[in-house]
């Protein structure tokens, strides 16, 4: 008689290579990954077919153009099978509350969904955005941590409330390709930008940590209403110091841009969207002049312009900058594909 015990057939979760945040990657892995991404860009045969027995399940609780298509493309390049689920498009919702009495619209709990998909696949990629209403829950990345707890295969964070490691690795690889390992001394400006909506902090949090880990001299330019979380700032300062860089913050966007080598524009709602949403909205509207213009860019040291995309033309940045000679946002988006090939090799131990 076969055993009816319920233990999963795979290796114990402690052995899994989850990728939930870039700062959780050991230095050696981080450096190997960004160089592997560069190598993938320059050798289209690298890794081709290497994961032909593997399969990844992708779940998007929120929409995606880049992450979805680049992850599917990376899996295809390596020869892996993928399944992509978009619960909202398919008319089913997931319950996340561990103690929910499930008599509402959600027919399936994330615990079962992730547990089942772990039995079908060799890795899972999951996107779950911020609540925008519960700061501590978002800061703890509660939903992504739940996914990692429920999974019995490696989990790739495809953007969560607090982190976007795939974006961070792609951005680091782009900077590594352009500047080599001698990134120290590069003047990197992360500039807040206007937007019609209060956006989550996953990208600015990750960009700050990425730039700090690359040893850049970082200036965060933002209105005083939109400072980033103090723990994220403190962690970035420590990482920057450890890697030969620095972090400063200013409300003077023009001074920050003066002589910059890299300008990374991004809007975020900041902590105030949780505590005082109408004041945050007023502050955002009052800073429409933070849109990056060609004139702003003329004061930089012919800086590369970066944005993770999607970008609102002539709100976040003038179309002339995006269409100009120093725009690097399409290279940046291309790097998502190469970085995710490297990440799949990492989680499947093909590196
Ligand atoms: N930058 C990024 O993650 O883009 P998508 O939302 O289109 O995936």
Q: What is the pTM of this model?
A: 0.95
* Domain limits, CATH 3.40.50.1370, in the chain: 13-163+336-347, 167-333
Q: How far apart are CA 298 and CA 187, in angstroms?
A: 15
pLDDT the model gives residue 88: 84
Instruction: Using most ligand atoms within 8 A of CB, pick from 65, 161, 169, 195 the residue to mutate for ligand 1.
Output: 65
192 CA distance to ligand 1 middle (Å): 18
Contact between residue 306 and residue 264 where contact means Cβ atoms under 8 Å apart: yes
CA dihedral 140, 63, 175, 80 (to 10 degrees): 100
Contact between residue 257 and residue 296 where contact means Cβ atoms under 8 Å apart: yes
Which of 152, 122, 108, 124 is closest to 6 using CA atoms? 152
Residue whose Cα lies nearest atom 3 of ligand 1: it is: 67
Instruction: Using most ligand atoms within 8 A of CB, pick from 74, 308, 329, 330 the residue to mutate for ligand 1.
Output: 308
pLDDT 10s digit of each residue in the chain, 351 long? 445 655 555 544 558 999 999 999 999 999 999 999 999 999 999 999 999 999 999 999 999 999 999 999 999 999 999 999 999 888 888 999 999 999 999 999 999 999 999 999 999 999 998 999 999 999 999 999 999 999 999 999 999 999 999 999 999 999 999 988 878 899 999 999 999 999 999 999 999 999 999 999 999 999 999 999 999 999 999 999 999 999 999 999 999 999 999 999 999 999 999 999 999 999 999 999 999 999 999 999 999 999 999 999 999 999 999 999 999 999 999 999 999 999 999 999 999
Q: Give the atom of ligand 1 at the shortest distance from the alpha carbon of 63.
A: 6
For domain 13-163+336-347, give the CATH number.
Answer: 3.40.50.1370
203 CA distance to ligand 1 middle (Å): 10
Residue 17 CA neighbour count, 13 Å, CB half: 16
For domain 167-333, give the CATH number.
Answer: 3.40.50.1370
7 CA distance to ligand 1 middle (Å): 36
Residue whose Cα lies nearest atom 6 of ligand 1: it is: 64
70 CA distance to ligand 1 middle (Å): 10
344 CA distance to ligand 1 middle (Å): 18
Q: Give the atom of ligand 1 at the shortest distance from the alpha carbon of 70.
A: 8
Q: Give the atom of ligand 1 at the shortest distance from the alpha carbon of 159.
A: 3
Q: How far apart are CA 63 and CA 252, in angstroms?
A: 34
Q: CB pairs under 8 A, 24+ apart, for 66-71?
A: 66/309, 66/333, 66/336, 67/127, 67/158, 67/159, 67/166, 67/167, 67/336, 70/333, 70/336, 70/337, 70/340, 71/125, 71/156, 71/158, 71/166, 71/340
160 CA distance to ligand 1 middle (Å): 11
pLDDT the model gives residue 182: 78
Residue whose Cα lies nearest atom 4 of ligand 1: it is: 66
Q: Give the atom of ligand 1 at the shortest distance from the alpha carbon of 67.
A: 8
Q: Give the atom of ligand 1 at the shortest distance from the alpha carbon of 164.
A: 3
158 CA distance to ligand 1 middle (Å): 9
pLDDT the model gives residue 2: 45
pLDDT the model gives residue 15: 86
Q: Which residues line ligand 1 (CB under 6 A)?
A: 64-67, 159, 167, 308-310
């Amino acid at each position: 008689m076969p055993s009816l015990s319920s233990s999963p057939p795979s290796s114990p979760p402690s052995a899994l290579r989850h990728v939930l945040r870039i700062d959780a990657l050991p230095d050696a892995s981080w450096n190997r990954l960004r160089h592997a991404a560069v190598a993938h860009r320059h050798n289209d045969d690298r890794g081709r077919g290497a994961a032909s027995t593997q399969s990844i399940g992708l779940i998007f609780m929120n929409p995606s153009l880049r992450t979805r298509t680049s992850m599917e493309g990376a899996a295809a390049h390596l020869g892996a099978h993928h399944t992509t689920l978009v619960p909202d498009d398919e008319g089913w919702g997931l319950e996340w509350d561990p103690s929910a009495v499930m008599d509402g619209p959600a027919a399936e709990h994330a615990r079962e969904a992730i547990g089942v998909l772990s039995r079908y696949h060799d890795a899972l990629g999951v996107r779950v955005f911020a609540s925008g209403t519960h700061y501590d829950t978002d800061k703890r990345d509660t939903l992504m941590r739940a996914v990692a707890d429920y999974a019995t295969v490696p989990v790739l964070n495809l953007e969560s409330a607090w982190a976007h490691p795939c974006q961070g690795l792609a951005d680091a690889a782009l900077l590594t390709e352009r500047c080599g390992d001698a990134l120290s001394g590069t003047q990197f400006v992360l500039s807040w930008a206007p937007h019609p909506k209060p956006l989550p902090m996953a990208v600015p949090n990750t960009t700050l940590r990425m730039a700090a880990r690359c040893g850049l001299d970082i200036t965060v330019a933002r209105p005083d209403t939109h400072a980033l979380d103090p723990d994220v700032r403190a962690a970035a300062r420590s990482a920057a110091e450890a890697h030969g860089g620095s972090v400063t913050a200013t409300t003077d966007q023009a001074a920050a841009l003066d002589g910059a080598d890299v300008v990374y524009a991004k809007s975020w709602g900041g902590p105030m969207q949780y505590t005082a949403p109408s004041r945050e909205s007023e502050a955002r509207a009052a800073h429409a002049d933070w849109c990056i213009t060609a004139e702003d860019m003329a004061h930089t040291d012919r800086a590369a312009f970066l944005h993770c995309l999607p970008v609102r033309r002539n709100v976040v940045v003038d179309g002339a900058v995006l269409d100009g000679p120093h725009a690097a946002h399409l290279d940046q988006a291309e790097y998502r594909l190469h970085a995710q090939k490297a990440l799949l090799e990492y989680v499947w131990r093909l590196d």
